[in-house]
Amino acid sequence: MGYLVSHGALREILSLYTGIPASALSFDATPHGKPFLPGEDLEFSLSHSGAWALVTVTPLRSIGVDVERIRPVPDLERLAEQFFSKEEVRALQAYQGATRTCAFYHCWTRKEAYIKAVGEGLSIPLDRFSVSVDPNQTDVRLARDKSLREGEAWVLRGFSPGSNYAAAVAVEGTAVEFSFWEKGPDM
């Protein structure tokens, strides 16, 4: 899904939550680039890849989402060693072939969702915290280096919105309920 379509959908969704017409929404960004709506008690996140765009919205909690189309990664091992924690690299090595590629993307989306939720971008080194690489695990463990926002609780949920896609959402807090809606182009 393209940039314009996904950002238009984000505006429409946020309009439903705020009661402000989509065209009148005014965005700002934190110093690390996380967008927000000034004066609104909503947190949101957007990610798009291939045919999918995901939007997450929640009141008063930090939230992040990421989606990636699963495709071959020629330098997968090098990328994992550069960006993943030692625990994640070891876990990834237990998988072979296409399953390893799938596990790589599930790990990547979980890490991206968390750093988007925290709102500090890539100033947080990706190898300073660990997530599960298991593509079949939905409720994901998050283990952080003690220097990373110690004391906060996070819910990290991994999922596949469609065939050959990996996605994750990270939400600050402990008691979190998820609701998923799908909107196609003809809806």
Is 47 inside a domain boundary? yes
pTM for the model: 0.90
Q: Quick check: is 177 in a domain?
A: no
Rounded to 5°, the CA angle 18-19-21 comes to 110
Q: How far is CA 12 from CA 50, 55, 60, 156, 174, in A?
A: 20, 11, 20, 26, 28
At 135, which CATH number? 3.90.470.20
Radius of gyration for the chain, computed over Cα atoms and rounded to the nearest angstrom? 17
Which residues of the chain are under the pLDDT cut of 50?
186-187
Domain count across the chain: 1
pLDDT tens per residue, range 6-52? 899 999 999 999 999 999 999 999 998 999 999 999 999 999 999 89
Q: Is residue 94 part of a domain?
A: yes
Range of the domain at 31: 3-172
Rounded to 5°, the CA angle 10-159-180 comes to 45
